[in-house]
Amino acid sequence: MSGSHIDEILQLWTASLLEINPNASGPFRNHRDLYETIDQSTFVDNPWMSFSLSYGGARPEMGPIPTWMTTPTEIWYRNPRQLIHDIIGSPDFQDEIDYVPYHEYVGHQNNHRFHDFFSGDWVWKQVVSINISTFSA
Amino acid sequence: MHSATFVPIVLGSDKTTVSVGTGNNEYWPIYLSIGNIHNNVRRAHRNGIVVLGFLGIVKSTHMQPRSSATSIKLI
């Protein structure tokens, strides 16, 4: 799609919003704004990779050998570290992510309120028990 | 100074298998998420849970994989 076509679509997009809100504007000013947003994206390509896995243990000495012991199987995967980076770095989650564990207590009884994962006991125990010297170079 | 945070990795699978093409190859999907993001995000399917991989299921003469009514076609 050419730049001028993108501009036209964006103008139509804005025009459709103006009916509802006179100050509204579309998601991008023009095609250059769109291209710059794409170039600034932190998402990098994370290609699928695969390897073959075979059973290497003992086989029965008597009787038929199960086919799963002799047939290789495929494992398909993407770089997990990159996937985690993409989730942490996604601007979609910037206000919906916790970096430190917390405990919430509510009411006269001081009841422990569990909400998101970082409000729980497991995360709390992990973080308070990490040895900081593990991370110093 | 560097700062750090704790990022718990959450992995999961379910009994839904994925078949490719004619259905001769079946795979278990493995999902990945992190514990930091809020529950409402993880439930909202906004890439809070991503597919990490597919484990091939070996066709076996002795133990057939359980058929699933909810299996989906990948291609």
ipTM of the complex: 0.70
Interacting residues of A64 by C-beta distance below 8 A, sequence separation 6+: B61, B62
| Residue B74 falls inside a structural domain | no
The boundaries of the domain holding residue B2 are 1-59
Closest Cβ opposite residue B58 in set A67, A77, A83? A67
**Model confidence over A40-72: pLDDT tens digits?**
766 668 889 999 999 999 999 998 888 888 889
Instruction: Please report whether residue B70 resides in a domain.
Output: no
Give domain status of residue B16, yes or no: yes
- What distances in angstroms separate CA A71 from CA A51, A54, A75, B25, one per listed residue? 14, 7, 13, 13
DSSP code of residue B37: B
* Statement: the pTM of the whole predicted model exceeds 0.80: no
CB A80 within 8 A of CB B67: no
How far is the C-alpha of B12 from the C-alpha of B23, rounded, in Å?
23
Q: Does B62 touch chain A (CB under 8 A)?
A: yes
**Within-domain flag for B64:** no
The answer to whether residue B6 sits within a structural domain is yes
Backbone angles phi and psi of B59, in degrees to 5 = -70, 130
Flag if A88 and B36 touch (Cβ within 8 Å): yes
pLDDT tens track for A81-90:
999 998 998 8
- pLDDT number for residue B22: 62
Could you give the number of structural domains in chain B?
1
Question: Is residue B3 a contact partner of residue B57, using CB atoms and an 8 Å limit?
Answer: no
In-domain check, residue B73: no
What's the DSSP call for residue B43?
H
**Identity of residue A45:** D
Task: Answer whether A15 touches B (CB < 8 Å).
Answer: no
